[in-house]
Homo-oligomer: A and B are copies of this chain.
Amino acid sequence: MAQLLLIEDDERVRTALMRSLRDLRHQVASAPDAMTGLRAAIDHRPDLVVLDLGLPDLDGSQMLRMLRGVSDVPVIVATARDDEDEIVRVLGSGADDYVVKPFTAKQLDARIQAVLRRVGTGPAAADPPVAVGPLRIDPRGRSAHLDGRALELSPKEFDLLHYLAARAGEVVAKRQLLTDVWDLPFGGADKTVDVHLAWLRRKLGETAQAPRFLHTVRGVGVKLVDPAGDAA
């Protein structure tokens, strides 16, 4: 959803984060050190930079100043330990937000969305409403309407519906839902997804036998389709 630049020296963390952020629909470039990161920031013009503190070649505040010299791209810093002084210093140097390790990709994504919305730049700033046939979903207001009538959804139900609606027509595996919606990259029981789907179906006024939006694809997952559209 947004062009990101990830500056992180630990290769393990870097590749894992890139992977997860791409799953969450971002375009991600990365750099292992400050100098490469600066060059990438100049070349790629990202919407936002995620900057790990404790880089080998430059300290965080210096790096921030150099970044700011290049552009006014918003920056989220990631700190290893919960060092209040450093956080204060870094926020004073122009960082827009911070996250403390360890954190999940979903948590970071939430910060990214918030920062982009606040600064009002980048594609993710919009977080646009989704419409699938008679179903309208407004992420900003966390409200959903079906045929003009408001749906009363629990938090998880809303997230699930939003996630599926944003990928309308595409089959999504339950495990994928557990990682992206539930933020459980490893554990978690598929059954939980089934239950929430059942609740959603009830509120959407449909049954599993006569689905309107939520079609289960046996052995694979579920997909949300426009009942009127031909494209399934």
Contacts and interface: CB of A to CB of B under 8 A. Distances in A.
Interface stretch (A37-45, A92-100, A189-197): A92-100
Given A155-B219, A219-B155, A94 B11 contact: yes
Nearest to A219: B155
Contact of A19 (B96, B145, B170, B220): B96
A218 B155 contact: yes
A12 to B, nearest CB: 4
Interface stretch (A76-84, A135-143, A199-207): A135-143
A155 B220 contact: yes
Contact of A150 (B145, B154, B232): B232
Nearest to A72: B30
A223 to B, nearest CB: 6
A148 interface: yes
B141 A232 contact: yes
Contacts of A220: 142, 155
A22 interface: yes
A60 interface: no
Contact of A93 (B11, B94, B141, B154): B11
Interface in A212-232: 217-220, 223, 225, 230-232
Contacts of A93: 11-12
Contacts of A27: 120
A46 interface: no
Contacts of A231: 138, 141
Contact of A142 (B22, B148, B217, B230): B217
Interface of A: 11-12, 15, 19, 22-23, 27, 68, 91-94, 96, 118-120, 138, 140-143, 145, 148, 150, 154-155, 169-171, 217-220, 223, 225, 230-232
What are the nearest 9 A-B pairs in CB distance? A12-B92, A143-B232, A155-B219, A141-B169, A140-B170, A142-B171, A142-B217, A15-B94, A11-B94
23 contacts: A11-B68, A11-B92, A12-B92, A12-B93, A15-B91, A19-B96, A19-B118, A22-B119, A22-B120, A138-B169, A140-B170, A140-B171, A141-B169, A141-B171, A141-B223, A141-B225, A141-B232, A142-B220, A150-B232, A155-B217, A155-B218, A155-B219, A155-B220
